[in-house]
């Protein structure tokens, strides 16, 4: 019972991280922030972003908080996801950044 719970917890709660460089010209401004939060909201996983590998972490599903990060072009954007669909979420947000949010 305890082992089963631990195994379930490790599957769903251990966060995975990845990073990508912001390539679009103005960085994470209003429109990309909206696209990122819309993308993040498609997943149940907790998704956070940061400008450094150790945070501080910002909820990627909050457009207001994402805009406040004010990540500029060229910045390394770090993602941390946790949840059963975390892998798919991570792939989706990274694809969005690589694609320059459709702007680059």
> Does the CA dihedral 19-25-27-30 come out positive or negative?
negative
Q: Verify binding: residue 84, another protein, rule CB under 8 A.
A: no
Q: Verify binding: residue 38, another protein, rule CB under 8 A.
A: yes
Helices (runs of H) and strands (runs of E) counted in the chain: 4, 4
Q: Verify binding: residue 41, another protein, rule CB under 8 A.
A: yes
90: burial class by Cβ within 10 Å (0-12, 13-18, 19+)?
A: buried
Q: Where are the alpha helices (DSSP H) in the chain?
A: 2-13, 30-40, 63-69, 86-98
Query: Segment contacting another protein (CB under 8 A): 6-14, 28-36, 48-56, 70-78?
Result: 28-36
Using CB under 8 A, pick the residue from 8, 11, 31, 98 that binds another protein. 31
Using CB under 8 A, pick the residue from 5, 54, 64, 74 that binds another protein. 64
Task: Please indicate whether residue 2 is annotated as part of the active site.
Answer: no
- So which residues are the catalytic ones? 29
User: What residues line the site for another protein (CB under 8 A)?
Assistant: 30-31, 34, 37-38, 41-42, 61-65
């Amino acid at each position: 019972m305890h082992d089963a719970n631990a195994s379930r917890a490790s599957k769903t709660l251990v966060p995975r991280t990845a990073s990508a460089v912001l390539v679009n010209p103005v960085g994470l401004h209003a429109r990309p922030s909206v696209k990122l939060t819309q993308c993040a909201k498609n997943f149940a996983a907790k998704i956070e972003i940061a400008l450094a590998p150790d945070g501080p972490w910002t909820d990627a599903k909050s457009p207001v908080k994402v805009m406040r990060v004010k990540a500029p072009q060229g910045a390394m954007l770090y993602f941390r996801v946790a949840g059963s669909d975390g892998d798919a979420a991570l792939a989706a947000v990274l694809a969005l950044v690589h694609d320059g949010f459709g702007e680059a």
